[in-house]
Amino acid sequence: MTKIVKGVSNFQWGGDHYRKLPIQVWDFIAANKLDYFQGNVIKYVSRYKDKNGLEDLKKARHYIDKIIENDYTRTVPCPPQKEAGQE
């Protein structure tokens, strides 16, 4: 049988960089219904000073670039290419 434990925010694997924040990052992400890419931006920006510094900011930027790619670029169909010898 699986036991559901309330208060999982009271424990963090691998450090305390999230627990010291006034709002848990995953609670913020869930409450605002952010998608995977948006959630990762929040995660990396919120922890960069206490964990991986510039590396986390670069990760956040990478996810922002993906959001821009997903939301603001479109595929433009290419006209059919003529084979050699066709006019």
- Could you tell me the pTM of the whole model? 0.70
Q: Which of 10-19, 21-30, 31-40, 47-56 has the lowest mean pLDDT?
A: 10-19
- Greater confidence, 51 or 9? 51
Q: Does 16 score more than 90 pLDDT?
A: no
Q: Does 4 score more than 60 pLDDT?
A: no
What DSSP assignment string belongs to 15-66? -STTTTSSS-HHHHHHHTT--HHHHHHHHHHHHTTTTTTHHHHHHHHHHHHH
Domain parsing of the chain, residue ranges: 16-72
